[in-house]
Amino acid sequence: MNSLTVEGLGKRYLLGRGTRSSKARARLDLKLFSVPLPWGRKAPSRELWALRNVSFEVQPGSILGVIGKNGAGKSTLLKVLARVVRPTEGRVVGRGRVVSLLELGAGFNVDLSARDNIFMNAAMHGIPAHEVEARLDDIVEFADLGEFIDNPLRHFSSGMYLRLAFSVAINMSPDILLADEILAVGDIAFQERCLQRVAEEGKKGLTVLFVSHDMAAIARLCDRTLWLNAGQVVQIGESPSVVAEYQQAALAATLRDDDDATTRTNRFLEVLGVRLVSSDGRPIGAAPIVEDVYVRIRVKVLRLPVKLHASIRVYVSNALIFTSGQREPVEFDERGVYDVMARIPANLLAETRYTVTVWMEMEALKNATIHLPEVLSFMAYGSSYEMRYKGGVLMPALDWSVTTPQPDTPVETEA
């Protein structure tokens, strides 16, 4: 018997509904009064299918990975399964208790203590207080909160948030666990603990849907993988093969400007991959705010001579946050594999999700360009700031000072 069955699932949104043209505000002035002109009918709605004709089955004890580029419908799928969003068509049949980890800190109150939030979050999932009492010690131990259990959550970092949220979810004996990208937040050691615990519970019958851009984690952890694109199923099957085809298709798409440009570019340079790495070169799925991280562009020089000028553009929700490029192009003297690195300094990023677009401009026999849109996506996490400092798309650690004005300095007052 299936733990989860999805049949013909679809979710439609209507865009532009209720908006009017600028002509709707035009009026005919008759001096004593004005008459509205006969324009201004509501613009017709435009349909956007975030999901369409999605069907799959998941057996008990299976871990299903869900992959796809931004906007593919991954998060919408989990929200429908979690009963946060009502589907437009199709049906979902799930068996047992469903617990979701869709957004960092969702269901928590920052003014309450961690202990109170444990009981409140469990109650939101329909779990009675006596079950929470029986598992409270296990929750606190796995979350590694210790003496912070009675502290308000506003003093917790996002890493502590994650540990608490995951510990509550995994210790409530769920039959189906829905996990979005937040499992990529936190230190490497805790990420491994999370993935190991998920694997252990999977052997006991837990069904997991795991959304991630970390293809290594998907291939290692998931039995099968669902590949979504534009809200539709592209492929579902064994994780290694689906992940390999997804990565190959993603790289091919980013290199496809036009046929002539692609041929010239491939003749001199090949992009092997773009990863977020730590200062010691380890690939990571999220960026610790208080540490330097690097965008690593691995290239293979196929033919000489060639000069390369690389740049990155960093976005939050399609808004350009900053751009950085090499000040001087680098000239390659030998063929081979090279890592082009861009350092993102510590204490610059905020606790949000970023996407990175890469531009590679080459000077060879003919100039050529590789454009890699949204080739990298990651979250930043774990600042030492308190909750009241959260927000925004950047959170630089500026130098602050407090001084006393000199006696002869005029005192300025606001008008």
DSSP string, 152-174: BGGG--HHHHHHHHHHHHHTT--
Which tokens sit at 235? 């492929």
Shared domain check, 374 and 290: yes
Give per-residue pLDDT as tens, 177-199: 888 766 655 556 676 777 778 77
pLDDT score at 260? 37
CA dihedral 168, 216, 277, 362 (to 10 degrees): -140
Instruction: Count structural domains, the chain.
Output: 2
Q: What is the average pLDDT across 266-276? A: 80
Whether residue 415 is contained in a domain is answered as: no
Picking from 240, 275, 294, the residue at the C-terminal end of a domain is 240
Shared domain check, 211 and 83: yes
Give per-residue pLDDT as tens, 150-165: 888 777 776 777 778 8
Residue 58 clears pLDDT 70, i.e. is over it? yes
Residues in the chain: 415
Residue 287 belongs to domain with CATH number: 2.70.50.60
Whether residue 249 is contained in a domain is answered as: no
Least confident of 86-95, 313-322, 403-412: 403-412
Shared domain check, 163 and 53: yes
Residue 233 clears pLDDT 70, i.e. is over it? yes
Dihedrals phi, psi of 119, to nearest 5 degrees = -65, -40
Give per-residue pLDDT as tens, 344-382: 999 899 878 888 999 888 776 566 788 888 888 887 876
The H or E element spanning position 296 is strand 293-301
Shared domain check, 104 and 39: yes
Whether residue 95 is contained in a domain is answered as: yes
pLDDT score at 331? 87
Q: Give the integer Cα–Cα distance in Å for 208 and 311.
A: 38
CA dihedral 113, 117, 119, 125 (to 10 degrees): 180
Q: Give the integer Cα–Cα distance in Å for 82 and 222.
A: 20
Whether residue 397 is contained in a domain is answered as: no
Whether residue 42 is contained in a domain is answered as: yes
Least confident of 152-156, 226-230, 305-309, 314-318: 152-156
Picking from 240, 272, 303, the residue at the C-terminal end of a domain is 240
Which tokens sit at 86? 């009502």
Indicate the average pLDDT of the chain: 79
Least confident of 29-38, 61-70, 238-247, 346-355: 29-38
Residue 414 clears pLDDT 60, i.e. is over it? no
Q: Give the integer Cα–Cα distance in Å for 143 and 162.
A: 8
Which tokens sit at 236? 């579902």
Residue 386 clears pLDDT 70, i.e. is over it? no
What is the torsional sign of CA 312, 317, 320, 322? Answer: negative
Shared domain check, 213 and 286: no
pLDDT score at 311? 93
Residue 109 belongs to domain with CATH number: 3.40.50.300
Shared domain check, 228 and 303: no
Which tokens sit at 366? 């003919």
Shared domain check, 340 and 219: no
In this prediction the pTM is: 0.60
Whether residue 414 is contained in a domain is answered as: no
Shared domain check, 283 and 233: no
Q: Give the integer Cα–Cα distance in Å for 194 and 215.
A: 16
Domain extent, residue 274, equals 255-389
% of the chain exceeding 70 in pLDDT: 78
For the chain, the distance separating the N- and C-terminal CA atoms, rounded to the nearest angstrom, is: 74
Least confident of 17-21, 50-54, 98-102: 17-21
Q: Give the integer Cα–Cα distance in Å for 269 and 337.
A: 10
- Closest alpha carbon to 180 in 404, 403, 377: 377
Shared domain check, 264 and 235: no
Which of the two residues, 185 and 300, has the higher pLDDT score? 300
Shared domain check, 277 and 333: yes
Give per-residue pLDDT as tens, 109-134: 878 888 888 888 788 777 788 888 88
Tokens 């004996």: give the residue. 173
Q: Contact, 226 vs 64, CB < 8 A?
A: yes
Q: What is the average pLDDT across 317-334? A: 87
% of the chain exceeding 90 in pLDDT: 14
Residue 274 amino acid letter: V
Residue 258 clears pLDDT 50, i.e. is over it? no
pLDDT score at 27? 64
Q: What is the average pLDDT across 46-65? A: 88
Q: Give the integer Cα–Cα distance in Å for 234 and 237.
A: 10
Shared domain check, 298 and 232: no
Whether residue 91 is contained in a domain is answered as: yes
Dihedrals phi, psi of 95, to nearest 5 degrees = -120, 120
Whether residue 409 is contained in a domain is answered as: no
Shared domain check, 370 and 322: yes
Peptide bond preceding 305: is omega within 30 degrees of 0, i.e. cis? yes
Q: Contact, 69 vs 229, CB < 8 A?
A: yes
pLDDT score at 283? 78
Q: How confident is the model at residue 217 (pLDDT cuts 50, 70, 90)?
A: confident
- Closest alpha carbon to 316 in 230, 382, 252, 380: 380
Q: Contact, 212 vs 184, CB < 8 A?
A: yes
